[in-house]
Amino acid sequence: MTWLHLPSLAACSSGKQMESNALATKITRFSLKRKVTIFVLFLTILAVGFIATNRLPLEMEPKGSEGHGIYVRTSWRSGVPQESLEKIGIPMEEELSTVRGLDSMSTRCSTSSASVDLKFKQGTDMDVAYREVRDRMERARMRFPEGTEKPRIYKRDSWSDPIVRMTIGSDQHVPDYDLINKYLIIPLMRIDGVADVEFHIEQKEIMIEVDKDRAEAHGLNIRRLSNRLRGDNFTLASGSVVDGGKKYILKSSSSFHTFD
């Protein structure tokens, strides 16, 4: 019979601990004998860390993690979102749809601006895409109406996300845009480091749900009812008037303000 002797786990653990203690002892002795060397090494590490901390760029997200997108915004105070879509939004869509690498596009229009959010496929060179978007917008500007401001183009990254959002309440049906622009938007734009301030007006809406069975029982055509409501509830731009050096936007409003 042959016996095989194996070292116990306790013996192995004890050996490793002795080696670790011996290494720690050597480091301690070296540090005590070479005090100046250790002190200089410590100061070097401290100086490198201090310099790296001051020069290290801070970002909300690491490069490469942000989405591939470009945001385009054009300001035009038409007073009617539908007109902003027809005269600003659609020309922007038609020109920007030819940009290479485009994955999706969404448009949003308000009483004061039209904006297009472009998302690109992975691997798209965003510098090239940005130049193409800028070129397409120069073409679109030739189709814009008079009074349209120069489009603003932003790359979608961690720096383009808003850092502050605020909501303003008003008892008026239509908030005073000039008042908000003068006492809120312009002062915020003057703050050092602020790149852009966006302002959107949310309009109240009434949702009408029709009981199909009861409507048919009374001989009511739902499509005809929808067209009648749409024709009686509209807002139409009527041009502008200049008085005393100020330009006033005119619009015809025939909107429902109450349930009555």
Q: What is the pLDDT of residue 92?
A: 92
DSSP string for the chain:
--------HHHHHHHHHHHHHHHHHHHHHHHHH-HHHHHHHHHHHHHHHHHHHHH----SS-TTSS--EEEEEEE---S-HHHHIIIIIHHHHHHHTTSTTEEEEEEEE-SSEEEEEEEE-TT--HHHHHHHHHHHHHHHHTTSPTTPPPPEEEEESTTTS-S-------SSSS--HHHHIIIIIHHHHTSTT--------PPP-------HHHHHHTT--HHHHHHHHHHHSEEEEEEEEEETTEEEEEEEEE---S--
The closest alpha carbon to 136, from 184, 99, 86, 82, belongs to 99
pLDDT of residue 147: 78
| Count, residues in the chain | 260
DSSP 86-107: IIIIHHHHHHHTTSTTEEEEEE
Which residues in the chain come in under a pLDDT of 70? 1-16, 58-67, 78-80, 157-162, 170-177, 200-205, 229-260
**Alpha-carbon distance 157 to 63, whole Å?**
9
pLDDT for the residue 234: 54
In whole angstroms, give the CA distance from residue 241 to residue 250.
7
pLDDT given for residue 6 in this prediction: 47
In words, the CATH class of domain 69-158 is alpha beta
d(CA 242, CA 232) in angstroms, rounded, equals 30
DSSP codes of every residue in 159-172: TTS-S-------SS
Residue 255 is predicted with a pLDDT of: 62
pLDDT reported for residue 44: 92
Q: Where are the domains of the chain?
A: 16-53, 69-158, 212-254
Structure confidence at residue 193 (pLDDT): 77
